[in-house]
Amino acid sequence: MIPLQKNTVRLLTAWLAELPPAREGPLFPTNSGTPLTRAAVGKLVTRHAATAAERCPSLTGKNVTPHTLRHTCAMSLLHAGIDTASIALWLGHASIQTTQIYLHADLELKQRTLERVPALDERPPARYKASDALIAFLKNR
């Protein structure tokens, strides 16, 4: 069982209504009813990314792949404050170290983290001045 958002459930329900009733087989079949291959999924993503670029010019020239979508999902969860362990479970990573790769290069997340750290005192550090008692103690040793 995979948890799905309500809008995803609605879309899948509508999709299932379009398929032949009581059919067995892949959720997203090819025209011949066989499962989509990885290459076919990649081609679909590329085609739809090109269509999306017409409305979102920043996508123009971008290499959008299924992995790009997966990475974007992970980063969206991370930016929403979801902990890395939960993201690793969501993505099906066997190790949390795999998920840590997503954290490595995210400049925006680093900036937000830095903003949460209290600022250091901006005054230059004062020179340490030992107390008279400490000086006396050290002289008498």
Yes or no: say if 29 and 35 are a contact pair by the CB < 8 Å rule.
yes
What secondary structure does DSSP assign to 83-130, as a single string?
-HHHHHHHHT-SSHHHHHHHHHT-HHHHHHHHHHSPPPP-SPPPPP--
- pLDDT for 38-64, tens place per residue? 999 999 999 999 999 999 999 999 999
Measure the CA–CA gap between 96 and 87, rounded to whole angstroms. 9
pLDDT at position 103 is 67
Yes or no: say if 101 and 80 are a contact pair by the CB < 8 Å rule.
no
Short-list 13, 36, 35, 68, CA closest to 4: 13
pLDDT at position 113 is 75
pTM, rounded to two decimals: 0.64
**DSSP label at residue 35:** B
pLDDT at position 129 is 85
pLDDT at position 18 is 87
Measure the CA–CA gap between 48 and 66, rounded to whole angstroms. 11
**DSSP label at residue 24:** -
- pLDDT for 6-41, tens place per residue? 999 999 999 989 887 767 888 888 888 899 999 999
pLDDT at position 22 is 67
- pLDDT for 81-138, tens place per residue? 888 889 898 888 888 888 887 766 676 777 777 787 777 666 776 788 888 998 898 8
pLDDT at position 53 is 94
- Angle formed by the axes of helices 38-55 and 66-79, to 10°? 60
